[in-house]
Copies of this chain bind each other. A is one copy, B any other.
């Protein structure tokens, strides 16, 4: 026999009733799926977030982008390094403050982002297809409310 004991069914107990755990499971599933579909682009959700924010806010500084994403400045360094190595983003000296770097998508970066966002939207659609009628609007709303809860 291949297994002596059949794998016993697990009772998820409280976890099955907790929105926090459902939220985590859903996010992990979503990001795993994202990573798989976008693997050929060599990008992660974290890199995508920075790229997208620079795309929509050209010329902003690293600190401004970090703040907007809720990350620390120091974490931005390697992220921007990677995106620069991919030649989709560039640091340019700020015109008004020589301490800071203004971030821009390269010409290649614009093309890259255009192709990437198409994949990302298809991926979104794959999940949105699981919803019916007005559910999407409700989820979107509720997640925004959850995100707005201040923790201290």
Contacts and interface: CB of A to CB of B under 8 A. Distances in A.
Interface in A62-109: 64-65, 67-68, 70, 96-97
A148 B130 CA distance: 10
B30 A23 contact: yes
A127 B151 contact: no
Interface of A: 4-5, 7-8, 10-15, 18-34, 36, 45, 49, 52-53, 55-57, 60, 64-65, 67-68, 70, 96-97, 117, 120, 123-124, 126-128, 130-131, 135-136, 138-140, 142-149, 151-152
A20 B36 contact: no
B139 A10 contact: no
A34 to B, nearest CB: 6
Contacts of A32: 151
Contacts of A13: 52-53, 55-57
Given A8-B60, A12-B68, A70-B28, A22 B53 contact: no
B8 A64 contact: yes
A22 B142 CA distance: 9
Given A53-B13, A56-B13, A139-B19, A29 B148 contact: yes
20 contacts: A10-B53, A10-B60, A10-B68, A12-B68, A14-B120, A19-B124, A19-B139, A20-B124, A20-B127, A22-B147, A23-B26, A25-B143, A26-B143, A26-B146, A29-B148, A29-B151, A126-B149, A127-B146, A135-B142, A139-B142
